[in-house]
Chain A
């Protein structure tokens, strides 16, 4: 929850606090392989085209972006049927296939062989509800004067469900991610809103008529929810006094050859409902 950031915010305003960027010497860990294997089956499509990305981690303040990992062997196997899907190295850090077969509740197994070390992970394809509707409003959200987008979808009753919501605003550098569980809302229509701040330093600007937002609603597994919950929390608020202690994020990709060389990232297999909304 981000409420503590808000506490800090209000205290900052009240008292003479200030935020300023500073130079900090941070430690540097050894570089690791990063596996971003997101097999997402968009509702209403065949889901045969899939991409897996391999890269390397860098020092925290490193700005050079070419971290692509090439020359790896990447395969995904459907553990229920035994069908194997080899991924083709595109020599730019991406590995692709055009004949993937997504099947709900089937378990898939990822294997990556790189530098004579074998990485692997297992994940189950989770289904997702349809998006009921997307609306816009001003009176909801954090600020009564700013536009926000409202997303509605039905949560299936009597079963634990976990969701990842991604808002891609056309023209923005980065997506906004939210983790949602039905812990307090089981069986109800779930409402999520997305409002951009009127940020003083211009990092964010509020929505205006004409802004286009791509919305993706993923049905995800509980372990992946736990992973993303932490990732999102740490991305948003790490270091403020009311955030939980920083912790190394461990994904589900292990190294069979040398367990110490585990990979960052995650192997996820999801069903995703997508929609696009243009602000009026």
Chain B
């Protein structure tokens, strides 16, 4: 039925062209540095003809022959307009002038003004540009993308010091995190205290919490699309900052007679340089660094090449006991090709890898694991006419997962070498989607993604008695590993298991009046890759595993409904969204599961399901000396796993239970106030319901020890989390003649020194023999100072 509808709409769109029409296309850039601007609004004044620029700053607009005023607007830039006589197809590149020349002007990204925002069917998306992120007070003065998005409605973390983020009650591994299209498997530095994104290298981020466009696939919860800057194509530029924990430096310059440009950005921590001075930690080392690279070359007006890369690493070393390092590496080669003023294309070859190594010196064990993927994809945008835009493309992705290799760390080690089976898989997809304006008030967005996943051979597959990798022991009421009865070797050319899914994506927007609209969306998505983690927080040592014989792909269905209102000429904006999401085949871990070094993960898990629903409220103040937003989320996130093939009632008696990232209430208040040219202040306040945990409900004596007993999973909660951060930015008076610009950022994290519980542990005191509860709180009040400069 859906297919029929889509074809119908396509025909309506293609054949309703009576009048003589012409197209105008081009690229929008920043006047000062030549950066392409994505998401800029391009429209013809006093008409309904308009569009926004794509990821590469490209736009195409079609209108009847006539004379118009072309207007371009983009947050943080002065409005641009020019008169235009449209009597032939034409191509114009336009450069916008930034509205302020300050180092980082105060900009809270309002949605695009006037027509685009309210009319576009796209909903459940949050956009932030680098300037906004840099404005927020951050821990230890370190600007952070992941921490910033956690201030938006529907996005939470899993406690201080945990990696990743959670979107609408989803798990951290259900987020597709892309840096210039390359998958980032671990977004954290310092075990989650910082993210891998260097704000100096970032142009723009989009977070899709639902209503995920058809061009994205492979994760069921959200897409975080982070784009790196292209590099200044006008002049050499140096950006940098000196902070307490780390420092950063970015260089940008034109290349090849202004036909190209590059950006190189580096960041490194240096806490480890001071550690030898502190007695307690003198033998320890903890550090991270990362490097961003981007370069582009314009072959001619219709062809542009981009090369981008990222390399990041965390190293920590505990006085010869444990040595651990981990990090992501990505690369992407892209070719933008404009076929004509209506057809834009991009071909990408993408590589990403995440790996870690852990050396346990005291048992002389050397452990490595990694995941590598290559991705070739071709995306096209066809601007059919003013009412219809098509996006379509194909993608092929290979995965190679090495879940673990153990080696003896020395010749005298008692460890035997062991390599877990490497896992290989291929994921292919084809998609098409249309944004279709049915009338002045109604716009539809409909798309379809078809994905195929094949788990490839090159390994043994274990068979289990009664085909049960996990068996319910009804005597003891526990789940146990199934009995292996044999194995089959699959050669590399064979497929072990293949899945295919159709993923429809639908959205509509109905404009109620000039200032308000309602939107609705439905998204189905499939996730073939799972992160194995039975700890309360994701850790860098967690292992990814592809779907296959025993692990099914996760399938989510999400519906969302929203209301949007602009108040007082867009001084204020209100966004209300409500959603319901259901995820099938969410894997869950049997009590006492052991995942580390396990070649047969299927013996530790059951296929479960998850559901989440909530209400999100966002009120923004977009204009004036004071800007900011208030976000409130009321939500529920639960999961359950029935016994199924394994028998028995299931995990936690088969009852629904709170996920670790369930937050009933989540409030974020972010504000920025510009006092004058020199001083600017900003603040965050965060309040969250405590994280669900399992507390002991009794004790008994065994082997002389007090052993705790536990009730159902995640029935209790940590105390509520709240925190206030403030920061002040001082910009010294500028010397008009000098290029050097600088600013000081003074910050206080956790201003009222709240001892938020990162966890509460229960232990028997070995001295007194009494049981006690201990709260671990990670960040108390932390003052910081950072010096930023630009040359």
Contact = CB atoms under 8 A, between A and B. Distances in A.
B697 A29 contact: yes
Contacts of A59: 698-699
A174 B769 contact: yes
Interface stretch (B340-348, B473-481, B621-629): B473-481
A185 B416 contact: yes
Given A140-B362, A244-B534, A56 B700 contact: yes
B704 interface: yes
A136 interface: no
Contacts, number: 263
Nearest to A227: B592
Given A18-B777, A245-B589, A248-B711, A58 B700 contact: yes
Contacts of A17: 758, 776-780
Contacts of A177: 703, 705
A166 B777 CA distance: 33
Interface stretch (B316-324, B453-461, B661-669): B316-324
B761 A240 contact: yes
Contact of B776 (A12, A231, A246): A12
Interface in B149-200: 158-159, 161-162, 190-191, 193
A6 B321 contact: yes
B477 A262 contact: yes
Given A188-B414, A191-B414, A242-B539, A175 B704 contact: yes
Given A144-B319, A174-B764, A235-B705, A28 B414 contact: no
Contacts of A22: 760, 773-775
A11 B779 CA distance: 10
Contact of B761 (A56, A238, A252): A238
Max count, chain A CB within 10 A of own CB: residue among B162, B358, B593, B695: B695
Contact of A166 (B534, B592, B695, B703): B703
B694 interface: yes
A36 interface: yes
Contact of A27 (B162, B716, B761): B716
Interface in B716-747: 716
A159 interface: no
B227 to A, nearest CB: 31
A3 B596 CA distance: 12
Interface stretch (B43-51, B279-287, B423-431, B516-524): B279-287
B20 to A, nearest CB: 65
Contacts of B763: 235-236, 238
B537 interface: yes
A204 to B, nearest CB: 6
Contact of B536 (A15, A243, A248, A254): A243
Interface string A137-168: 00011111000000000000000000000100
Interface residues of A, number: 94
Nearest to A24: B773
Interface in B753-791: 755, 758-767, 769-782
Contacts of B316: 10
Contacts of A10: 281, 284, 286, 316, 318
A184 B191 contact: no
Nearest to A190: B414
Given A60-B696, A185-B415, A244-B593, A144 B716 contact: no
B570 to A, nearest CB: 41
A38 B762 CA distance: 26
Contacts of A57: 698-700, 709
B416 A60 contact: no
Interface stretch (A61-69, A105-113, A272-280): A61-69
B70 interface: no
B242 interface: no
Contact of A241 (B699, B758, B774, B782): B758
Interface in B200-251: none
B710 A248 contact: yes
Contact of B696 (A3, A7, A26): A26
Nearest to B775: A22
A53 to B, nearest CB: 8
Nearest to A120: B475
B778 A246 contact: no
Nearest to A248: B710
Contact of B697 (A27, A188, A241): A27
A31 B776 contact: no
B102 to A, nearest CB: 32
Contacts of A65: 701
B776 A184 contact: no
Contacts of A183: 597
A38 B131 CA distance: 66
Max count, chain A CB within 10 A of own CB: residue among B705, B713, B769: B705
B705 A18 contact: no
B406 interface: yes
B162 A14 contact: no
Given A31-B698, A143-B319, A249 B707 contact: yes
B759 A240 contact: yes
A264 B782 contact: no
Contact of B365 (A56, A67, A184, A230): A184
A34 B702 contact: yes
A173 interface: yes
Given A12-B776, A21-B774, A203-B766, A265 B702 contact: yes
A239 B761 contact: yes
Interface string A57-94: 11111110101000000000000000000000000000
Contacts of B758: 17, 241
B139 to A, nearest CB: 9
Nearest to B701: A55
A259 interface: yes
A58 B161 CA distance: 34
B693 interface: yes
Contacts of A236: 763
Interface in A1-43: 1, 3-4, 6-8, 10-24, 26-29, 31-32, 34, 36, 38
Nearest to A36: B702
Interface in B442-487: 475-478
B715 interface: yes
B708 interface: yes
A174 B768 CA distance: 10
Interface string A107-125: 0000000000000000000
A97 interface: no
B591 interface: yes
Contacts of A19: 774-777
A261 B758 CA distance: 35
Contact of B281 (A14, A184, A188): A14
Nearest to B408: A184
A211 interface: no
B268 interface: no
Nearest to B364: A191
Contact of A245 (B536, B704, B767, B781): B536
Contact of A28 (B597, B698, B769): B698
Contacts of B693: 239, 246
A32 B782 CA distance: 47
Contact of B476 (A15, A55, A234, A254): A254
11 contacts: A11-B191, A17-B776, A17-B777, A21-B772, A27-B711, A175-B705, A184-B415, A184-B416, A184-B418, A265-B700, A265-B702
Query: Would you list the 9 A-B pairs with minimal beta carbon distance, nearest first?
Result: A239-B761, A247-B591, A29-B697, A57-B700, A246-B694, A241-B537, A24-B773, A17-B778, A34-B700
Interface of A: 1, 3-4, 6-8, 10-24, 26-29, 31-32, 34, 36, 38, 55-63, 65, 67, 140-144, 166, 172-175, 177, 183-191, 193, 202-204, 226, 229-231, 234-252, 254, 259, 262, 264-266
Given A11-B193, A24-B773, A26-B762, 16 more contacts: A10-B284, A10-B286, A13-B280, A17-B777, A24-B760, A55-B700, A60-B696, A60-B698, A183-B597, A184-B416, A203-B767, A240-B761, A244-B593, A245-B714, A248-B591, A264-B709
